[in-house]
Chains A and B, each alone.
Chain A
Amino acid sequence: MLTREWLLDDSPASRGQAAAGRAYRVSLDLPRNPLAVAGIVIISILILTAIFAPLIALEGPHGQYLERRLLPPSGDHWMGTDQLGRDIFSRVVYGARITLMIVALVAVISAPVGLLIGAVSGYFGGWVDSVLMGVTDVFLSMPKLVLALAFAAALGPGIENAIIAIAITTWPAYARIARAETLTIRNSEFVAAARLLGASHTRIITRHVLPLCTSSMIIRVTLDMAGIILTAAGLGFLGLGAQPPSPEWGAMISGGRSYIFDQWWVATMPGFAIILVSLGFCFLGDGLRDVLDPKSEGKS
């Protein structure tokens, strides 16, 4: 049943086949972009590392082994050991779980909120638009990290609060994008046709407007994930995110700060991990933009 011909059939026989065919075409286009492939590989490694962390890591992320503190990278400790003698490689591996959780939770919280606020604002216009966009502008006008800092400080340090703080600072950008897209969709004839059929505003927004905003939203969120990771690491570095001994990458860099001139690897190794994963999300986002862009796909 799941053959190439079935998936690429020009005349699908069921709803499921039509949807599967579209997904398959996207999956065919994605590997043609080498950067996107690099992104997929990096993100896959991140996900697998997070899932199988106990199998990959040499030891647990916590503990103290003061007899082997601050050892340089070697065959025994690939990334060296930190000030408490913990194996940095193992901690970076466990840190993948935290990073993935931050990214996923921020995306799940802020993207739908931004999407909905932007779509409602753009669709109704008038005073609804003025009020919602006014609020959005207030949030946008403040630097992201500073706002996140303020929220994290107000809510108290901790990874959950850091996630909430980052989510609060990221949704306005998504609201702006969704509003801009909605403005172009709002006056289209297919929306007019849906209104003539008696469709409610809720139905038009959820069934007609939002599906057209999602692909640009997916692209934007993927590209923003690098920034989210950096903000989370920044909060961790400043002591407002994950708290020690949690193996969060930003907190690990912060821990290595005192030794950075003599034992460079303590701060550098988690830094490499952050750079690599950020790059992975950027590459994937660029690749998705080429594949999902409705302008390149919709008309043929």
Chain B
Amino acid sequence: MGRYMSAISLNNVDVAYDGVRVVEGITFNVARGESFALVGESGSGKSTVLKAICGLAPEWTGEIFLLGEPGSHRPNLSLARRCQMVFQDPYGSLHPRKTVDAVLSEPLAIHGIGGQDERVEQALADVGLDRRFRFRYPHQMSGGQRQRVAIARALMLEPEVMLLDEPTSALDVSVQAEILNLLKRLRAERGLTYLLVTHNLPIVSFLCDRMAVMSKGRVVEIASSTALHDGSFTHPYSQALYAASGGA
């Protein structure tokens, strides 16, 4: 699978924060339309990989290709059209003084896209929010509703690649299921490529085709998500993780 064919291609990527290297030698490919997971315990560098791909962690070396084009060290307009991210905390990822309408119109204003009214209404409908939420402030909504708004914002520019940083870990279990179903439906409808970071293995088997297991800043194993059913992990760390999640 060549780097020009795949949606996301990382080759020997190191990422540092203020000169301290936290992630080393990351190499994996995600095909277009595939759903790929990065799993591992807290502090294993999963989110850092996402940030490097979208330019929020500028100190990376190696090769990153996104839909055939080289990655950037900082966010820019063309990157924004190809790749968007959904953050972990729906309470922190929405501006507390902006209505849903303002949040969803902003990407359109930045990119000079017209027809904002219809697009905002359509985006709300797409993520299953009633139109009466349009002029609410974040503090007038529940966590699940906020996360739907965050997903709608990420989809406003119609990117092909979505980076999901633990999109459900801050939510109640019942709401988690709704958001996961929404993500699954959106991917099926739009042919999106997902790169999902999580430490929750059942989510991987629900949403993803393959996964990379990370530990201490390195990828120790890349496995198909069927391994979560039969436990066919080869690396001892993956096996331990699998056992710890109650799979063994």
Contact = CB atoms under 8 A, between A and B. Distances in A.
A10 B136 contact: yes
Contact of B136 (A18, A207, A300): A18
Given A193-B87, A197-B80, A198-B76, A22 B111 contact: no
A208 B95 contact: yes
Contact of A198 (B88, B91, B111): B111
B37 to A, nearest CB: 20
B97 A211 contact: yes
Contacts of B208: none
With most chain B CB atoms within 10 A of its CB, the pick from A188, A198, A294 is: A198
A183 to B, nearest CB: 15
Contact of A195 (B75, B91, B96, B99): B75
B41 interface: no
A208 B80 CA distance: 18
Contact of B139 (A188, A190, A197, A299): A299
B56 A192 contact: yes
Interface residues of B, number: 41
Nearest to A22: B137
Given A10-B136, A15-B135, A192-B56, A198 B110 contact: yes
Given A193-B93, A196-B84, A198-B80, A13 B56 contact: no
A196 B80 contact: yes
B39 to A, nearest CB: 21
Interface in A210-224: 211-212
A18 B132 CA distance: 12
B28 interface: no
B94 to A, nearest CB: 6
B135 A196 contact: no
B136 A12 contact: yes
B93 A190 contact: yes
A13 B135 contact: yes
B3 interface: no
A199 interface: yes
Contacts of A192: 56, 85, 87, 93
Contacts of A12: 99, 135-136
A267 B76 CA distance: 64
A263 to B, nearest CB: 54
Contacts of A195: 56, 74-75
A200 to B, nearest CB: 8
B107 interface: yes
B135 A189 contact: no
A193 B162 CA distance: 13
A297 interface: yes
A141 interface: no
Contacts of B84: 196-197
A72 B85 CA distance: 75
B132 A298 contact: no
Given A11-B136, A18-B136, A196 B85 contact: yes
Contacts of A33: none
A17 B156 CA distance: 24
B56 A198 contact: no
Interface string A7-46: 0001111110110001000000000000000000000000
A197 B101 contact: no
B57 to A, nearest CB: 10
Interface in A145-199: 188-190, 192-199
A199 B110 contact: yes
Given A198-B80, A208-B95, A294-B96, A11 B56 contact: no
A208 B110 CA distance: 13
A203 interface: yes
B101 A190 contact: no
Contacts of A212: 95-97
Contacts of A11: 132-133, 135-136
A190 B76 contact: no
Contacts of B81: 198
Interface of B: 54-56, 74-77, 79-81, 84-85, 87-89, 91-97, 99, 101-102, 106-107, 110-111, 132-133, 135-140, 150, 153, 156-157
12 contacts: A14-B135, A15-B135, A18-B101, A190-B92, A192-B93, A195-B74, A196-B54, A198-B76, A199-B110, A294-B96, A297-B139, A298-B97
